[in-house]
């Protein structure tokens, strides 16, 4: 059994009389410790898929299995526990608490998890050991995204879910963030899923899932992923 299994997952939204299919019988699997890139145009179902994986949305039908747990059958209270303990989120716009320092933002996440990692160690790993006492407004966009990644990693999650993590960053900074995510996956054996519309970064992944019209239309396995520093776009 794979670490993550999406089985015949459907997600429909009702708009008056019309049912919109965000996901339409979507199927794919992900192994533990894999770096997966999900690509596709806007409206293809990428973010819906990530939200369901992260317990922020529920499937209309089908099964979503994460580490032998069927997330699609969890009750509201169980979903809260799942999001809190098993999932690390990284968004396009960092979502940091502005009146807390960088290290306090990371500590905030560790206080709600039972197997959390040491915040100072994680800040060092993301290259911010000298900026721990700075507030978000005193950090660049790239540094704020590093804090957001540190906050997610410090929870010691089963899944690190990243929705357009470089969308608000320039080319060079974006590359550094992707390198950090690639290294985190390799060194910590963490399962990392990155959503992007930039298909040029696909070679960095162990697996690439192409979404189109609510389906995982094409799945490519990279036997030899390319280090991010060798990828240009």
CATH at 73: 3.40.50.300
| Distance of alpha carbon 183 from alpha carbon 22, whole angstroms | 32
CB 207 within 8 A of CB 38: no
- In the numeric block, the tokens 């933002």 are attached to 105
The closest alpha carbon to 105, from 142, 54, 160, 146, belongs to 146
- Express each pLDDT in 13-50 by its tens digit: 988 889 899 999 999 999 999 999 999 998 899 999 99
- 101, two tokens: 């320092």
Q: Across the chain, which distance is largest between two alpha carbons, in Å? A: 56
- 12, two tokens: 């429909």
- 68, two tokens: 């032998």
CA atoms within 13 A on the CB side of 58: 13
Mean pLDDT for the chain? Answer: 93
Helix axes 171-188, 141-154, angle to 10 degrees: 20
The closest alpha carbon to 162, from 175, 147, 181, belongs to 181
- Express each pLDDT in 173-213 by its tens digit: 889 899 999 999 998 889 999 999 889 999 999 999 999 99
The angle formed by the CA atoms of residues 174, 177 and 180, to the nearest 5 degrees, is 155
Domain count along the chain? 1
Whether the full predicted model's pTM is greater than 0.75, yes or no, is: yes
| Among the ranges given (8-12, 52-56, 164-168), the one the predictor scored with the smallest mean pLDDT | 164-168
CB 36 within 8 A of CB 162: no
| Distance of alpha carbon 19 from alpha carbon 11, whole angstroms | 10
The closest alpha carbon to 151, from 111, 183, 182, 179, belongs to 111
Quickly state the pLDDT bin for 125 (edges 50, 70, 90): confident
The closest alpha carbon to 196, from 179, 208, 213, belongs to 208
| Distance of alpha carbon 174 from alpha carbon 172, whole angstroms | 5
Host domain of residue 80: 4-230
């Amino acid at each position: 059994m794979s670490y993550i299994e999406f089985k015949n997952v459907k997600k429909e939204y009702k708009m008056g009389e019309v049912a919109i299919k965000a996901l339409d019988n979507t199927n794919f699997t992900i192994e533990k410790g894999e770096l997966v890139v999900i690509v596709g145009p806007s409206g293809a179902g990428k973010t819906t898929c990530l939200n369901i994986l992260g317990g922020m949305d529920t499937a209309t039908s089908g099964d979503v299995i994460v580490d032998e747990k069927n997330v699609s059958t969890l009750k509201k209270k169980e979903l809260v526990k799942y999001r809190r303990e098993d999932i690390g989120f990284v968004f396009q716009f960092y979502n940091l608490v502005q009146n807390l320092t960088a290290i306090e933002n990371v500590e905030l996440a560790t206080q709600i998890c039972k197997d959390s990692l040491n915040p100072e160690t994680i800040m060092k790993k993301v290259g911010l050991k000298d900026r721990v006492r700075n507030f978000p407004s005193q950090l660049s966009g790239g540094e704020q995204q590093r804090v957001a990644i540190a906050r997610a990693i410090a929870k010691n999650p089963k899944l690190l879910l990243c929705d357009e993590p470089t969308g608000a960053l320039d080319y060079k900074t974006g590359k550094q963030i992707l390198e950090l995510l690639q290294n985190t996956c390799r060194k910590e054996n963490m399962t990392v899923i990155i959503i992007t519309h930039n298909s040029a970064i696909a070679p960095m992944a162990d697996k690439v899932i192409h979404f189109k019209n609510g389906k995982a239309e094409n799945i490519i396995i990279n036997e030899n992923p390319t280090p991010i520093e060798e990828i240009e776009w």
